[in-house]
Copies of this chain bind each other. A is one copy, B any other.
Amino acid sequence: MSQNNQTAQRALSETAEVDNASIQPFPKSEKIYVAGSRTDLRVPMREISLAETPTDFGGESNPPVRVYDTSGPYTDPATPVDVRQGLAELRAAWIAERDDTEALEGMNSAFTRARLADPSLAHLRFNHQRTPRRAKAGKNVSQMHYARQGIITPEMEYIAIRENMALTQAREQGILDKQHKGIDFGADIPDEITPEFVRSEVARGRAIIPANINHPELEPMIIGRNFLVKINGNIGNSAVTSSIEEEVEKLTWGTRWGADTIMDLSTGKNIHETREWIIRNSHVPIGTVPIYQALEKVDGVAEDLTWEIFRDTLIEQAEQGVDYFTIHAGVLLRYVPLTAKRVTGIVSRGGSIMAKWCLAHHKENFLYTHFEDICEIMKAYDVSFSLGDGLRPGSVADANDEAQFGELETLGELTKLAWKHDVQCMIEGPGHVPMHMIKENMDKQIECCDEAPFYTLGPLTTDIAPGYDHITSGIGAAMIGWYGCAMLCYVTPKEHLGLPNKDDVKEGIITYKIAAHAADLAKGHPGAQLRDDALSKARFEFRWEDQFNLGLDPDTARAYHDETLPKDSAKVAHFCSMCGPKFCSMKISQEVRDYAAENGLGLSEDGEEVIRMIDVEAEMQAKAQEFRESGAELYHKV
């Protein structure tokens, strides 16, 4: 960037502002906190209050619905956010108490020190430099390590309360048994998510808690097949200064709509500074692909990459607080030629970089040969592995081939190695896979990686819809989530075509919230159906506002409704624009219901009885007469 640009530019630390759209409260929603066993353990939830049922539908009151809240402090009016200050460090005390970490004298990354010493970067820098911590000599500070010691950390308790929310409500409302029993393909979902269950899953390696000790701003969350299915949103990529503010905006916008984690995939010039702004303002785990930055450090010449440069990059990012690293350690030399036969070769950036390095040096992938060195770094900061699938298929034609499955077997081997070091680990998956080949991916991953969490991109179920790959992949994502995938990486409408803007980010996030929730319902996750039932009841009772507010995107639902029926009166209308006032199945259904209730029909849970009663001709003739006399005009005027 030219000198002019820099001077022209006022420091971000003076100008950066929070995205206004990201801090708007959700309609009829209140940010609540459920207290844990200690005063500094408060689990945020969004509580949506509902209107009473109209009298002609029974007039009862409807309990508020609590929904899993990924939007963080940004939607809490009580804690205003200043992106120049960053978020409060809610885990700081928990980390300090464990007394197994120490504040660093200086930065251990040469690159970090160089960036901090460069005055030309002053205007980009996040001002409130915190002192990073690392494990004391010989200590392992990973949640997995604690779990294996039998320790239940505050993070684990926090997660138990968060994951147990829907179940608790369903219990309170006595409707837990009303939910459909799911099909879970051998998952081990308990009746209740206890802190001890969280601990045991993390110890077993079946779930991870991405939570770098240098990211104390984090609201703990868990990724594992026996918990709610999570989704990731990708941001980053721009290379110009102004983009730092844009990337923070995408972070707050993406988490507002439901991103459980965010990956910063920036490949531009100021990756380091951008990342600092993102982490300091992020309440969700941040993942990165360190090889991208390492490549920048060698001016994009893959052959020039070295273990030393990569190692310094890992430390640089670990000390900033990155919670999980995508590491393409499974791209082995012998797998590379297997991709030559493919329709789309290697489509993973990290995978292709390592493939090129392997061929150029004819050496084995240094991420593989140095894997245990990497583990040593991970456990000193509690960074989790996200083992990258560098050979994932980039087309339906290449799905489930020997290159992909060969790498997967190697990732399984590396998983055991990470576990040997008590380092948390999840595995990345495809890619482009037709529907009938998706389950084989899930089953093979479970077999190779011993139930370590699977984290997939889609998969896309067809290649023929550029511009709609959030949908081609949303189909595959919902299915693999049902089969046991723990986290779904979103795909936006711009996939294959360009960089997502804010609208694309939202479209991708909502699509993936749908996929993840559909998977939770299919797995029979306890309480998952509560929100569906509440929304459908509101829909049946013409509580339009409640229907909008219980939806994933109240703004869009309201806007669509208003296109045809803008008047407020329509919000209480007992009809909609699809059928109009004198032609409404919902109304007729209510009449059927009232009628049945009056006449003791359909009240018992036993269909048989109902059928017997209604078949008593004589009685029914009378009822029919009654109905005719009472029911001439049955439609409500508004």
Contacts and interface: CB of A to CB of B under 8 A. Distances in A.
Interface of A: 178, 180, 182-183, 237, 267, 295, 300, 302-303, 333-334, 336-349, 351-353, 355-356, 359-362, 394-397, 399, 402, 406, 432, 434-437, 461-468, 471-472, 474-475, 478-479, 482, 493-494, 496-499, 501, 510-511, 513-515, 517-519, 521-524, 529, 531-533, 535-537, 539-540, 547-548, 550-553, 556-557, 559-561, 563-565, 576-580, 582-586, 588-593, 595-597, 601-603, 605, 607, 610-611, 613-615, 617, 620-621, 623-624, 627-628, 631
B628 A360 contact: yes
B182 A436 contact: yes
Count identical subunits in the complex: 2
A521 B434 contact: yes
Contact of A339 (B351, B564, B592, B628): B592
Nearest to A591: B356
Contacts of A303: 628, 631
Contact of A533 (B397, B552, B585, B610): B397
Question: Which 7 interchain pairs have the tightest Cβ spacing?
Answer: A345-B589, A340-B602, A395-B536, A362-B624, A340-B596, A352-B585, A352-B588
Given A356-B592, A529-B396, A539-B496, A437 B180 contact: yes
Contacts of A590: 345
Given A462-B514, A536-B394, A614-B334, A497 B362 contact: no
A572 to B, nearest CB: 16
Contacts of A605: 341
Nearest to A589: B345
29 contacts: A180-B396, A237-B578, A267-B583, A302-B588, A336-B592, A338-B610, A340-B592, A340-B597, A340-B610, A342-B589, A344-B540, A344-B586, A344-B589, A345-B540, A345-B586, A345-B589, A346-B589, A349-B585, A396-B532, A397-B536, A434-B522, A461-B518, A463-B533, A463-B535, A465-B513, A475-B478, A496-B547, A496-B576, A497-B561
User: Which residue among A353, A362, A517, A529 has the maximum number of chain B CB atoms within 10 Å of its CB?
Assistant: A362
Given A462-B514, A464-B531, A475-B478, A183 B588 contact: no
B624 A334 contact: no
B395 A532 contact: yes
A348 B592 CA distance: 13
Contacts of A463: 532-533, 535-536, 539
A345 B3 CA distance: 69
A621 B361 CA distance: 8
B578 A498 contact: yes
Contacts of A517: 462, 464
A625 to B, nearest CB: 9
Contacts of A396: 180, 521, 529, 532-533, 536
